[in-house]
Structure 1
């Protein structure tokens, strides 16, 4: 079973690279039973979305 430290690392990596099938399955199994890791993953996705929106806004302001 994947530990929380491994799961949070994988959730972070998921934003930067495609996960292997094995990684996806292990992560899905862990987050299905671990609400703190599930919440961490949601927060990472939110931060990425906000960062991308901010970058787009800054780029359009500079033009």
Structure 2
């Protein structure tokens, strides 16, 4: 569970700051093996998109600006 706690923290941090390449690597190595963390990533993406829709801001995902 400690690994998942770290990964979900990094996924949340990615919304507020640029992650290091090492942090992205940790996420990319962990996500294929953990459905809970993949679901968390989907949920925060959905919440971010909903917040942007309500505020009228186009999300980076919708604009095609890469992964966050």
TM-score by length of 2: 0.76
Structure 1 segments of 4+ aligned residues over 4 angstroms from their partners: none
Secondary structure (helix, strand or coil) at the match of 1:3 reads helix
Cα RMSD of the aligned pairs, angstroms, is 1.5
Q: Which has the higher helix share?
A: 1
Q: Larger radius of gyration, structure 1 or 2?
A: 1
TM-score by length of 1: 0.81
Tell me the matched-pair count. 56
User: Gaps (5+ residues) in structure 2?
Assistant: 58-68
Larger RCO of the pair (alpha carbons < 8 Å, separation 6+): 1
